[in-house]
């Protein structure tokens, strides 16, 4: 990872930027848990191991630049305590734990800080200017505290629009807004409406982003009109405002925003109070302040894919106390270097190098080429 950080710095200087210029990064945490429950409802984290991954967001390959592994487990300490010795875990010799047992494992603020500390430890240290995270912004706060320079928090697109959906489905609209008789029906329609509004806002944002090439000033200006057009469109007055301002609805009789989740000819009965609430809901993503948080179209997708790749050697529900960190680093190495290169380098490092020019090298190189080809193919938008 040190090599990669150095390379990023070299590339920035090649681009004509100063060597100490800042980079954008994304970060996400992953928890290992021996008692894993159903997905989605994790109000309480009983995890004992945490992996915080930070990826750079400046090159097309998006490499992992820092990983922090927090581990609470220690077999030796357990045995010693059972024998009656008075040991606390991270403090005794040969301890595998690096986090005290009573620390809060969900503390993303601290783990992100540890990643920044790792980055700063080597002489080619990078400075992070923007950190994309999901959900809360605590990670960015923690990271900027360690770095000593402010880091701006950006939001992951998927999580950002998802939180808009949740808030819209809970918003206290008046009973007359949805044209259904019973309360259960109205609630169900409100949920569907929230889903539709999320999709509408997302597609407005994506189309406008492409249209203006990511120019945030023009985007904000355009979106201020779009908000009005969305409101009139849902009121059933689709037409001129959509034709003029919307990026998702053409406002024509034959071609307009078609909802896949709402009933046909769906219309909202909006009074003043409802309109106010609805406008707030739309502004959750398209308002100028919130638009600023997603202005670079960044996401934490790479971190999530890295988290999935960890499954290769370290399952989420298995907590090995000693080999946890090496397992994680093995995966990161193979992701950064490519599978073939990583295997060759590891073999060399343990003193059993693969003979050059042999069949094995040829096969591994071939595999690598195929991987690179598919990656490039996926990235090209054609």
Nearer to Zn ion, 74 or 154 (CB): 74
Interface with Zn ion (CB under 5 A), residue from 233, 248, 294, 331: 233
Nearest-approach distance from CB 267 to Zn ion, in angstroms: 12
99 touches Zn ion by CB under 5 A: no
CB of 86 to Zn ion, least distance (A): 12
- Our finding on whether 277 is near Zn ion (CB under 5 A) is no
- Residue nearer to Zn ion on the CB measure, 132 or 232: 232
Residues 33-52 that bind Zn ion (CB under 5 A): none
Contact 302, 59 (CB under 8 A): no
> Which of 253/377 has CB closer to Zn ion?
253
Structural tokens at position 329: 């680093």
User: Pick from 64, 219, 242, 281: which binds Zn ion (CB under 5 A)?
Assistant: 242
Q: Choose between 95 and 171: whose C-beta lies nearer to Zn ion.
A: 95
Report the length, in residues, of the chain: 382
CA distance 297 to 57: 11
Contact stretch for Zn ion (CB under 5 A) within 235-243, 290-298, 324-332, 371-379 = 235-243
3-state class (DSSP) for residue 130: strand
* Residue 27 or 251 with smaller CB distance to Zn ion: 251
Tell me the site size for Zn ion, rule CB under 5 A: 11
Among 8, 95, 277, 292, which residue interacts with Zn ion (rule: CB under 5 A)? Answer: 95
Nearer to Zn ion, 74 or 116 (CB): 74
Cα 377–chain centre separation: 23
Question: Is the torsion defined by CA of 118, 119, 120, 123 positive or negative?
Answer: positive
222 touching Zn ion, by CB under 5 A:
no
Rounded CA separation 69/332 (Å): 12
Positions 59 through 78 that interact with Zn ion (CB under 5 A): 74, 77
Residue 89 interacting with Zn ion (CB under 5 A): yes
User: And the tokens for 258?
Assistant: 């078609």
* Closest distance of CB 199 from Zn ion, Å: 14
Nearer to Zn ion, 89 or 281 (CB): 89
Q: Which two tokens stand for residue 241?
A: 């405002």
Q: Max CA-CA distance within the chain?
A: 80
- CB contact at 8 A, 158 and 299: yes
Q: Please report, in angstroms and rounded to a whole number, the separation of the first and last CA atoms in the chain.
A: 32
* H-run or E-run covering 132: strand 127-133
Per CB under 5 A, the list member of 1, 116, 238, 270 interacting with Zn ion is 238
The number of CA neighbours under 13 Å toward the Cβ of 197 is 33
Residue 225's contacts (CB-CB under 8 Å, 6 or more residues apart) are 241, 244, 245
Which residues contribute to the site for Zn ion (CB under 5 A)?
74, 77, 89, 95, 97, 233, 238, 242, 249, 251, 256
């Amino acid at each position: 990872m040190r090599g990669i950080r150095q390379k990023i710095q070299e590339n920035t200087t090649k681009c004509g930027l100063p060597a100490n210029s800042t980079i954008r990064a994304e970060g996400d945490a992953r928890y290992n848990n021996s008692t894993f429950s159903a997905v989605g409802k994790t109000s309480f984290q009983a995890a004992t191991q945490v992996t915080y991954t930070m990826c750079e967001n400046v090159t097309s390959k998006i490499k992992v630049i820092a990983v922090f592994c927090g581990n609470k487990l220690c077999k030796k300490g357990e045995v010693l305590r059972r024998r009656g010795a008075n040991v606390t875990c991270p403090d005794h010799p040969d301890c595998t734990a690096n986090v005290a047992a009573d620390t809060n494992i969900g503390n993303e603020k601290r783990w992100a800080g540890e990643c920044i500390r790792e980055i700063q430890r080597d002489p080619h240290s990078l400075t992070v200017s923007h950190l994309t995270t999901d959900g809360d912004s605590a990670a960015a706060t923690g990271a900027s505290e360690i770095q000593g320079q402010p880091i701006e928090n950006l939001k992951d697109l998927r999580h950002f629009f998802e939180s808009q959906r949740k808030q819209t489905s809970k918003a206290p609209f008046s009973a007359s807004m949805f044209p259904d008789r019973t309360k259960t029906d109205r609630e169900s329609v409100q949920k569907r409406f929230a889903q539709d509004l999320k999709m509408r806002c997302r597609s407005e944002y994506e189309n406008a982003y492409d249209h203006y090439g990511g120019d945030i000033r023009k985007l904000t200006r355009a979106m201020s009109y779009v908000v009005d057009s969305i409101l009139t469109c849902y009121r059933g007055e689709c037409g001129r405002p959509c034709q003029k301002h919307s990026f998702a609805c053409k406002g024509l009789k034959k071609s307009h925003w078609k909802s896949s989740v709402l009933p046909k000819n769906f219309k909202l009965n909006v009074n003043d109070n409802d309109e106010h609430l609805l406008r707030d809901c739309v502004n959750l993503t398209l308002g100028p302040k919130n638009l600023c948080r997603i202005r670079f179209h960044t996401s934490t997708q790479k971190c999530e894919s890295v988290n999935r790749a960890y499954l290769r050697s370290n399952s989420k529900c298995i907590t090995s106390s000693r080999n946890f960190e090496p397992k994680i680093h093995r995966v990161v190495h193979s992701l950064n270097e490519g599978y073939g290169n990583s295997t060759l380098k590891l073999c060399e490092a343990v003193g059993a190098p693969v003979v050059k020019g042999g069949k094995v090298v040829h096969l591994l190189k071939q595999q690598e080429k195929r991987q690179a080809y598919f990656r490039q193919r996926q990235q090209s938008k054609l």
